Structure 1
């Protein structure tokens, strides 16, 4: 299997990707759901980091520091930085933000690598629905130093148009910030995995296709 197929099976085995009838935060009725909160063991996190590392390597993404937005992004950035070293011998720093600025000790907004001007930073997140996380962290990163945000890496691109735009959150992020978002897999990869028997769920295939046709975003 390809690493994308392996990742889809990994999500299903971890209970992160499930099929059925779900109401999303947007109000849309979806035949699948991605709940990254179901990653909960060291073994799962180590494996997840390897998939992030493979996506970074495959796409030749330039990176010096991985940034994990608090709170869910913190273990993701850590696991990805460890995997990049273990798998590819790449020594990459990591950092994350605090929800509140520390007013004692060394103080500051960030923990981990101190960012410098020109530093190539990659943001590590789980999924991207509206692009809210990127809009929140970009001012923090640019406020810390004149960094070069070379990419954002997520696990699943739903490829859905936003509620107020015909573009997907991924394409909107590029339009608004010039940040290219890479995903380990997207909805088309998941549909292909069902169709090819990589994971079970063929009874949901027609609903998956219908959902994609209804909410699929236009491309830039």
Structure 2
């Protein structure tokens, strides 16, 4: 059963056209009946709902015993995300967490370096990102963080597509296994299927999505 924050997140994604249905060719070459783009959460209301959903997922992780010290948002989409989530956690839940992000290009003047925000050395870090496809970008973030002496302990993405990758399992589960960390999402494809099935405006898309799940799902 979908949690309230998951329903609000998916409804907001639909309204913002961050979630679209149709025929889309993914980078993997697969033909997908849906497409998700977190960059479309580009007004104050949509960003707030997005941040609230991540905050709920973070509180869920804490309740499961996952401990972390700092939030981290990889450039570029992760930067407004991590800032918004930090604000929501404090404003709505009284939880004040340090946060940081990276620059794509390191500065050689001013404070210098490629990292901005809270110090990371010796800290347990929770990474917030939008999506995970092959996991290449996340692994680059892990290398950056470990290079500072930080300890990445968990990753949260918006949507787990639950698709099989080379070697078996989903990209998220493979990341968790290979990198020895916790990897989770705000929603999964199974959650999205439930959401679509419960909305009369969207049920026409359900058969194609179920076929896609059967063909590529893990």
Distance in 1 (alpha carbons) for counterparts of 2:143 and 2:5:
34
Q: CA deviation at 1:128?
A: 0.7
* SS of aligned partner of 1:77: helix
Distance in 2 (alpha carbons) for counterparts of 1:135 and 1:63:
18
User: Which structure 1 segments of 5+ residues have no match?
Assistant: none
2:143 paired residue among 139, 161, 168: 139
Distance in 1 (alpha carbons) for counterparts of 2:55 and 2:67:
12
> Which residue pairs with 1:10 in the alignment?
12
Distance in 2 (alpha carbons) for counterparts of 1:31 and 1:153:
24
Q: How does 1:121-140 map to 2 (within 5 A)?
A: 121-140=125-144
Judge conservation of contact 2:130–2:159 (CA < 8 Å) in 1: yes
Q: CA RMSD in A?
A: 1.3
> Which residue pairs with 2:96 in the alignment?
91
Q: CA deviation at 1:54?
A: 0.6
Judge conservation of contact 1:161–1:168 (CA < 8 Å) in 2: yes
Judge conservation of contact 1:170–1:180 (CA < 8 Å) in 2: no
Q: CA deviation at 1:26?
A: 0.9
Judge conservation of contact 1:39–1:45 (CA < 8 Å) in 2: yes
Q: Deviations over 1:16-72 (max 9, x none)?
A: 111111111111111111011211112221221111101110222423211110111
1:81 paired residue among 81, 86, 109: 86
Number of residues of Structure 1 aligned to a counterpart in Structure 2: 213
> Which residue pairs with 1:155 in the alignment?
158
User: Which structure 2 segments of 5+ residues have no match?
Assistant: none
> Which residue pairs with 1:203 in the alignment?
204
Judge conservation of contact 1:19–1:32 (CA < 8 Å) in 2: yes
TM-score (norm 2): 0.93
Q: CA deviation at 1:5?
A: 1.6
TM-score (norm 1): 0.92
Q: Deviations over 1:130-171 (max 9, x none)?
A: 1111111111101111x2322111110000012x23221101
> Which residue pairs with 2:112 in the alignment?
107
Distance in 1 (alpha carbons) for counterparts of 2:45 and 2:211:
35
* SS of aligned partner of 1:170: helix
* SS of aligned partner of 1:59: helix
